[in-house]
A and B are shown apart, each in its own frame.
Chain A
Amino acid sequence: MNLAWVLLFLPLIAAAANQLYFKRIAFIASVISVGSVAATFGISLMLLGADKSPEPLRWATVGDFSIEIGITLDQLSTGMMVVVTGIGLLVHVFSLAYMADDSAKARYFTCLSLFMFSMTGIVLASNFIMTFMFWELVGLSSYLLIGHWYQKDSAADAAKKAFITNRIGDFGFMIGILMLWGITGTLTFSEMAVPATVSTGVLGACLLCVFCGAVGKSAQMPLHVWLPDAMEGPTPVSALIHAATMVAAGVYMLFRVQLSIGTAAFDNFAGDTIAWIGGITSLCAALMATQQNDIKRILAYSTLSQLGYMVMAVGLLSGEAGMFHLFTHAWFKALLFLGSGAIIYACHHEQDIWKMGGLLKKMPITGLTFAIGTAALIAVPFVTSGFYSKEEILAAAFTGNKVLFGIAVSVAFLTTFYMTRAFVVTFLGKTRSDNASHAHEVGPMMFVPLVLLAGMAIGSAWLTGPLNAYVPEHEHGHAEGHGLILGASIASLLLGLFAGFALYNGKDKDPVSIPLFRDRFKIDWIYDNIVVKYFQDAFAAIVHFFDEFLINGLVVGGAGRIAEGFGGLFRRVQSGNLQGYAFAFGIGVILVIYLTVF
């Protein structure tokens, strides 16, 4: 039995055991889930750098054709597994404290284990159908966890929105998979090769369809709307699923495709489109983040923006830079989310930063680790991991497209600005609500994960070798424009810090008001009030009307009247003995057969 299979199926076994036997024994359920994720973390460390993939299982076989469940072990997947299970473990431990009083704790941990299973499946998948299967399953676990407090309308709606929005992306994804199957003749990643005869148009269209999947899962525009709403879920879930791992699956999958069929296949309009969508998403999300007041939403828009960075890098044929940023971002964004969870927990479920303030003194460990996470996100030079990965992205943009480079630098400035705002308003100044004034530091079950994550927020850029195969060499710098990139990066950082402090230090309410950013460019409004209302519901109602009156009313009703015209027999039967009629009908039919045939 190969260890990799244990790695894949252990979380499923944990989830199944919890659902079947420990639904009402929350303590055992949580121990099983935490135990399973700890074990998978250990296995991930042992498998690090392994490259002997086990023999795949045949899931569905017809003749020579087979859909397989297989495991790819390579530097990419084993490195990603350490990130997924490492952050997963910390989030599980944090949840023990955060969800201690929840009435549905067993269900929560069951869903977390289900998520770990699904995410592991995406990372290890050896073929596209398997990726798609686990892709849908992470969608399910995300749906279940966002809707954990399903009696709240907003949570139930957000869960539904997340699933359906992802399904829209998966529409394209499935088409892309099928086309790629037609083009390469295989579904297995390691066997994929694009024949030279395939036209750029077909290949590009196919890759854009595949990209649709990433647009949904990694919440790129225009399908980004579900991610901010997904913050309705418990905060540890936001840290694990909606910041560190699941939303990165889109980037991971794109990079997996790049590795399989070669970066050159993206060197056409598909790559350009991907890069632009990433760039635009990163800019718009950063703008929206500057005007949010809910601490989780600020982080959610920040996640969108950073995912946009990664997607842009993939589109610019620098998937390595995107993956590097994915690795570092996972740690420090999980840190920020868990930190916000600690704050929310301490402030009795207050999420509005304007009702916080002065928390650094009350919660020094949380405050300091949050500061480290912020430093990594805004890319404080030379000491944080985020700096190195962002440099790679900026360098990719610089080489690839100067306009996108400009966008990327503006995003760097905006990131610093909104994170400074969030930090200053939350942690500095004076306390602005009762809930916040009663806040005190959280227990070790919560702050130990924060401290460990803070260590990774600094250190993850230096963990090279098999863990982080895509970390480029820092020391040598980039031949072209290195100084300019570094300068732009530091300048945007300083400018952002300055603007953030100058505008927000000591303020009790937001001195800036830009409704357009606060209302997320009205995109959600347009979807709810125009797309859903008219293009979906009204259109469906019109179709329903025609179905009822045209097909049902005229065609069938007409046929019915003709039949009635046959006279008294039918009419008498209709008003009378239905049993008799039905038997007469049956006998009649058999008579008809007999007469016709013989």
Chain B
Amino acid sequence: MLALLVALPIIAFIAILAGAPARQAALGAGLANLALGLWAAFTWEAEMWASSVEVLAKPSLHLAFGFSDGMSVIMVLLSVIVTVAALLSGRAPAGREILYYGSSLLISAGAIGAFAATDLFFFYAFHELALIPTFLMIGILGRGDRREVAWKITIYLGFGSVVLLAGLVWLANLAGTFDIPTMVAAVKNGSLVIDPAAQKGIAALLIVGFGVLVSLFPFHSWAAPAYASAPAPTSMLHAGVLKKFGLYGLLRIAIPMVPGGMNDWLTPLLVLLVGNILWVGLVTVSQKRLDLMLGNSSVMHMGYIFLAIAALAASYQGPALAGALVDGQAVTLSSVGRFTNDIAGPAAVLLMFAHGISIAMLFGLADKIERSTGTLELTDLGGLAKAAPSLAFLFGLVGFASIGLPGLANFAGEVMVFLSAFKNYDPAAGLGPVQIACICAIWGVVISAIYMLRAYRRIFQGESVRATESSLDLTPADRIPALLLAVTLLAVGLFPNLLLSLFK
């Protein structure tokens, strides 16, 4: 069944190439996938979702899909929701419908494939598949210096992918299999022991590789120009969904397979993620254009998810502790470690989901502002709320969501991340590095409020800069994708257990 979720967009893509009406075919696949994704959220533990097709016998390589745990389900759900919203946002330039909708479909298929794959090879390959249409959309249909931007993101993500590939290959060679659940189980039950030096090396490659893909500081400077240049559905899909691949990979691969190595790199990781939050946060404050501001803010918010990952890595107690007392009981297992922080993983996934929805909605609405007013320069805008009340309301809602207002999904994620960072805080020992990074991250909440409210103030409040026209506001067709995302933000924000209950 999961294979169907991957196949539908690809089938629609082929149909479009064969001459089917692009928008209708794309929407059909997107909506079918949305329905399937929602169904999957309720029944993901059923066997019917998993599938495996042998591609190569030796070495054994399977095109295998399955929900390993709640994390995969949530990421697939994020993908299908954002896909529908992305297909409904933005306008295809005349004569470019095939490229426009086809690329969006391929990005969607690649993302779903990567999140659903249980095979390391396809996990990687599907992400690469999704990158190609991303480059194309920016390079051909982008705004501004699109070629330069496409070139830059290609080099950057190409570099990240190669580093990542090296790490994955190293790992696969040690494990002797591509099957991710088998690898994780082997590490857990102690049948696969990766020596500390290899762990450290692999973890370094994975942090840098996945890190580049998620715009970990200081590998972040591709992101904002790319999102500013890309057509709306591309920035929505990439910032909202595809970029999460790196974080997902760290949680799916690096944390369970090389926990000791991740723990070794804790301090550098903390420094870098604080760079994401404070450094990039300040860069965001000084932006003068809405699209660049949103792009940078999306880079900034990655720091919070890295914080949860770091808190998880920091809580790892290696096998060396065997025999020692933990929680008053002697550890009996002799060869495996354990994580003592059970909040961090769900916190990271919850925030990934929330961020994906909110950034997609922000990019979608920013595109509408540009289509209505012809500009995204903050100084050229003003008083739009009068002429475009629906746009102002929805932008305000998602703007407040992205700065962590309770009742909307991002807050639930952020507060869980902060709690996870203090989960293992020991007052007697003082503030540890994770807690100090967390305190820096909390200052980021102030920075977010500064740039988001400033932008809102400039765009929507004060005197109207442009003559008020009724056409400025959202049309009913514009409203559908925004409302889909807004309702998701509210539902998860009011009832985070909707998603958290998927973690058993």
In the complex, whether B425 has a CB less than 8 A from a CB of chain A is yes
With A and B bound together, what is the CA distance between A129 and B412 in angstroms? 10
Do residues B140 and A164 form an inter-chain contact, with CB atoms below 8 A? no
Map CB proximity to B onto A10-50 as digits: 1 under 8 Å, 0 otherwise.
00000000000000000000000000000000000000000
Do residues B59 and A540 form an inter-chain contact, with CB atoms below 8 A? no
Do residues A157 and B457 form an inter-chain contact, with CB atoms below 8 A? yes
Do residues B128 and A589 form an inter-chain contact, with CB atoms below 8 A? yes
Q: Which of A59-67, A317-325, A384-392, A409-417 contacts B (4 or more CB under 8 A)?
A: A59-67
Do residues A167 and B419 form an inter-chain contact, with CB atoms below 8 A? no
Residues of chain B lying within 8 A (CB to CB) of residue A63: 342-343
CB A139 to nearest CB in B, in angstroms, measures 9
Do residues B286 and A593 form an inter-chain contact, with CB atoms below 8 A? no
CB-CB contacts below 8 Å: A529-561 with B: 536-537, 539-541, 543-544, 547-548, 551-552, 555-556, 559-560
Given contacts A153-B462, A544-B283, contact A59 B497 (CB under 8 A): yes
A60, A181, A199, A541: the one within 8 Å of B412 (CB): A60
In the complex, whether A592 has a CB less than 8 A from a CB of chain B is yes
Residues of chain B lying within 8 A (CB to CB) of residue A537: 285-286
Q: Which of A85-93, A169-177, A361-369, A468-476 contacts B (4 or more CB under 8 A)?
A: A169-177
Residues of chain B lying within 8 A (CB to CB) of residue A61: 497, 500-501
B283, B427, B443, B454: the one within 8 Å of A543 (CB): B283
Given contacts A582-B136, A582-B139, A593-B165, contact A551 B426 (CB under 8 A): no
CB-CB contacts below 8 Å: B129-185 with A: 129, 131-132, 135-136, 139-140, 147, 150-152, 154-156, 158-159, 161-162, 165, 169, 172
Do residues A171 and B442 form an inter-chain contact, with CB atoms below 8 A? yes
Q: Which of B1-9, B326-334, B403-411 contacts A (4 or more CB under 8 A)?
A: B403-411
With A and B bound together, what is the CA distance between A63 and B347 in angstroms? 12
Residues of chain B lying within 8 A (CB to CB) of residue A156: 457, 461-462
Residues of chain A lying within 8 A (CB to CB) of residue B419: 65, 67, 129, 178, 181
Residues of chain A lying within 8 A (CB to CB) of residue B449: 163-164, 167
Do residues A178 and B438 form an inter-chain contact, with CB atoms below 8 A? yes
**How big is chain A's contact interface, by range?**
35 or more
Residues of chain A lying within 8 A (CB to CB) of residue B172: 597
Do residues B286 and A65 form an inter-chain contact, with CB atoms below 8 A? no
Residues of chain B lying within 8 A (CB to CB) of residue A548: 221
Q: Which residue of A lies closest to B425 (CB)?
A: A182
With A and B bound together, what is the CA distance between A171 and B132 in angstroms? 41
CB-CB contacts below 8 Å: A482-500 with B: none
In the complex, whether B336 has a CB less than 8 A from a CB of chain A is no
Q: Which residue of B lies closest to A65 (CB)?
A: B343
CB B308 to nearest CB in A, in angstroms, measures 12
CB A314 to nearest CB in B, in angstroms, measures 23
Given contacts A197-B428, A202-B427, contact A556 B501 (CB under 8 A): no
Residues of chain A lying within 8 A (CB to CB) of residue B385: 150-151
Do residues A178 and B124 form an inter-chain contact, with CB atoms below 8 A? no
Do residues B283 and A133 form an inter-chain contact, with CB atoms below 8 A? no
Map CB proximity to A onto B372-385 as digits: 1 under 8 Å, 0 otherwise.
00000000000101
Do residues B165 and A596 form an inter-chain contact, with CB atoms below 8 A? yes
Given contact pairs A151-B386, A596-B169, enumerate 20 new A-B contacts (beta carbons under 8 Å).
A59-B495, A60-B497, A61-B497, A62-B347, A64-B342, A132-B406, A134-B406, A140-B405, A150-B462, A151-B383, A171-B443, A174-B445, A202-B427, A551-B221, A560-B152, A578-B147, A583-B132, A585-B135, A589-B158, A596-B165
With A and B bound together, what is the CA distance between A541 and B286 in angstroms? 6
* The 4 nearest A-B residue pairs measured at CB: A133-B406, A182-B425, A156-B461, A552-B221
CB B345 to nearest CB in A, in angstroms, measures 8
In the complex, whether B463 has a CB less than 8 A from a CB of chain A is yes
22 contacts between A and B (CB under 8 A): A59-B495, A59-B496, A67-B416, A136-B406, A136-B411, A151-B383, A151-B386, A164-B446, A175-B439, A175-B442, A182-B425, A197-B428, A198-B427, A537-B286, A543-B286, A551-B221, A560-B152, A574-B151, A579-B140, A582-B154, A585-B158, A586-B131
Do residues A62 and B407 form an inter-chain contact, with CB atoms below 8 A? no
In the complex, whether B115 has a CB less than 8 A from a CB of chain A is no
CB A110 to nearest CB in B, in angstroms, measures 11
Do residues B497 and A555 form an inter-chain contact, with CB atoms below 8 A? no
Residues of chain A lying within 8 A (CB to CB) of residue B425: 178-179, 181-182
Quick one: which of A199, A537, A555, A578 has the most chain B CB within 10 A? Answer: A578
Residues of chain B lying within 8 A (CB to CB) of residue A140: 400, 405
In the complex, whether B38 has a CB less than 8 A from a CB of chain A is no
CB A593 to nearest CB in B, in angstroms, measures 6
Do residues A62 and B129 form an inter-chain contact, with CB atoms below 8 A? no
Given contacts A171-B443, A590-B128, contact A151 B462 (CB under 8 A): yes
Q: Which residue of A lies closest to B162 (CB)?
A: A592
In the complex, whether B265 has a CB less than 8 A from a CB of chain A is no
CB A153 to nearest CB in B, in angstroms, measures 5
In the complex, whether B125 has a CB less than 8 A from a CB of chain A is yes
Given contacts A150-B462, A578-B136, A585-B154, contact A174 B165 (CB under 8 A): no
Residues of chain B lying within 8 A (CB to CB) of residue A518: none
CB B350 to nearest CB in A, in angstroms, measures 8
CB A111 to nearest CB in B, in angstroms, measures 12
Q: Which residue of A lies closest to B404 (CB)?
A: A136
- Which residues of B come within 8 Å of A, CB atoms? 59, 121, 124-125, 128-129, 131-132, 135-136, 139-140, 147, 150-152, 154-156, 158-159, 161-162, 165, 169, 172, 218, 220-222, 279-280, 282-283, 285-287, 342-343, 346-347, 383, 385-386, 400, 404-407, 411-412, 415-416, 418-419, 421-422, 425-428, 430, 435, 438-439, 442-443, 445-446, 449-450, 453-454, 457, 460-464, 495-497, 500-501, 503
Residues of chain A lying within 8 A (CB to CB) of residue B136: 578-579, 582
In the complex, whether A183 has a CB less than 8 A from a CB of chain B is yes
In the complex, whether A168 has a CB less than 8 A from a CB of chain B is yes
Q: Which residue of B lies closest to A183 (CB)?
A: B427
Do residues B286 and A171 form an inter-chain contact, with CB atoms below 8 A? no
CB A16 to nearest CB in B, in angstroms, measures 10
CB B466 to nearest CB in A, in angstroms, measures 14
With A and B bound together, what is the CA distance between A62 and B502 in angstroms? 10
CB B434 to nearest CB in A, in angstroms, measures 11
Map CB proximity to B onto A109-130 as digits: 1 under 8 Å, 0 otherwise.
0000000000000000000010
CB A577 to nearest CB in B, in angstroms, measures 10
Residues of chain A lying within 8 A (CB to CB) of residue B503: 62
Residues of chain B lying within 8 A (CB to CB) of residue A167: 445-446, 449
Quick one: which of A133, A586, A597 has the most chain B CB within 10 A? Answer: A597
With A and B bound together, what is the CA distance between A102 and B154 in angstroms? 54
Do residues A151 and B463 form an inter-chain contact, with CB atoms below 8 A? yes
In the complex, whether A259 has a CB less than 8 A from a CB of chain B is no
With A and B bound together, what is the CA distance between A137 and B428 in angstroms? 34
With A and B bound together, what is the CA distance between A136 and B406 in angstroms? 7
A178, A199, A560, A589: the one within 8 Å of B422 (CB): A178
Do residues A589 and B169 form an inter-chain contact, with CB atoms below 8 A? no
In the complex, whether A160 has a CB less than 8 A from a CB of chain B is yes
Residues of chain B lying within 8 A (CB to CB) of residue A233: none
In the complex, whether A308 has a CB less than 8 A from a CB of chain B is no
Residues of chain A lying within 8 A (CB to CB) of residue B501: 61
Residues of chain A lying within 8 A (CB to CB) of residue B415: 67, 129, 132
Residues of chain A lying within 8 A (CB to CB) of residue B446: 164, 167-168, 170-171
Residues of chain A lying within 8 A (CB to CB) of residue B279: 543, 547
Q: Which residue of A lies closest to B220 (CB)?
A: A551
Q: Which residue of A lies closest to B386 (CB)?
A: A151
A62, A160, A597: the one within 8 Å of B346 (CB): A62
Residues of chain A lying within 8 A (CB to CB) of residue B285: 536-537, 540
In the complex, whether A147 has a CB less than 8 A from a CB of chain B is yes
Do residues B135 and A137 form an inter-chain contact, with CB atoms below 8 A? no
Residues of chain B lying within 8 A (CB to CB) of residue A585: 132, 135, 154, 158
Do residues B128 and A182 form an inter-chain contact, with CB atoms below 8 A? no
Given contacts A140-B405, A597-B172, contact A544 B286 (CB under 8 A): yes
Residues of chain A lying within 8 A (CB to CB) of residue B435: 178
Residues of chain A lying within 8 A (CB to CB) of residue B426: 182
With A and B bound together, what is the CA distance between A169 and B464 in angstroms? 32
